[in-house]
A and B are shown apart, each in its own frame.
Chain A
Amino acid sequence: QVQLVDSGGGVVQPGRSLRLSCAASGFTFRNYGMHWVRQAPGKGLEWVAVIWYDGSNKYYADSVKDRFTISRDNSKNTLHLQMNSLRAEDTAVYYCVRDRSNAYFDYWGQGTLVTVSS
């Protein structure tokens, strides 16, 4: 069965960096685009970034552009999100999500909490 396991969250000071990872299993990872979606405490869902199945294209929400970098290793079935220059407003649960039909999300990880605080 499809499994996405998010990891790497924690408490980090403003301005510092953090790298999230997502381990995928149960499907052919290299055939699917992948996303990161986040949810601030008590708030709604916010799309963060997408990477195409082969890593050839990457797109970001304006709120994270030039600070976050999405990447993948198809040989290790792993998705990453490198987060630099973190701000308090980046505090959220971050979900790794599988793309379906270049339109929606069909499988979600369990999420990993990132807290940006001094």
Chain B
Amino acid sequence: SYELTQPPSVSVSPGQTARITCSADALPKQYTYWYQQRPGQAPVLVIYKDSERPSGIPERFSGSSSGTTVTLTISGVQAEDEADYYCQSPDSSGTYRIFGGGTKLSVL
């Protein structure tokens, strides 16, 4: 099976840079997608194909990949970025969808 592992929580101060990792447990690594979920709301796509940013997503959101680990970077974190972040990939067959456990970003 294909599993994605995220840290449960990350904390940063406003204006700092937050980095949230997502590690895959198998090769080949599939493309990874990131979703932001604010309390009481549906998730929103913030990064696709490891590092592409959808239209309407602020430039401070970026993604990168190295080996089996992808990283979501939020530069100049703002209070409104406080949310849960989930990584997601298709499985190797492309049939199923896998989510990481989610990371709670706290802006202190």
Contact = CB atoms under 8 A, between A and B. Distances in A.
B42 A102 contact: no
A74 to B, nearest CB: 21
A47 B95 contact: no
A109 B44 CA distance: 11
B99 A59 contact: no
Contacts of A50: 95-97
B93 to A, nearest CB: 9
B28 interface: no
B101 A105 contact: no
Interface residues of B, number: 25
A100 B49 CA distance: 11
Interface string A88-112: 0000000100001011111011110
Given A45-B99, A104-B33, A105-B33, 17 more contacts: A35-B97, A44-B84, A45-B37, A46-B99, A47-B96, A47-B98, A59-B95, A95-B43, A100-B48, A102-B90, A104-B88, A104-B90, A105-B43, A105-B88, A106-B45, A109-B42, A110-B42
Interface of A: 35, 37, 44-47, 50, 59, 61, 95, 100, 102-106, 108-111
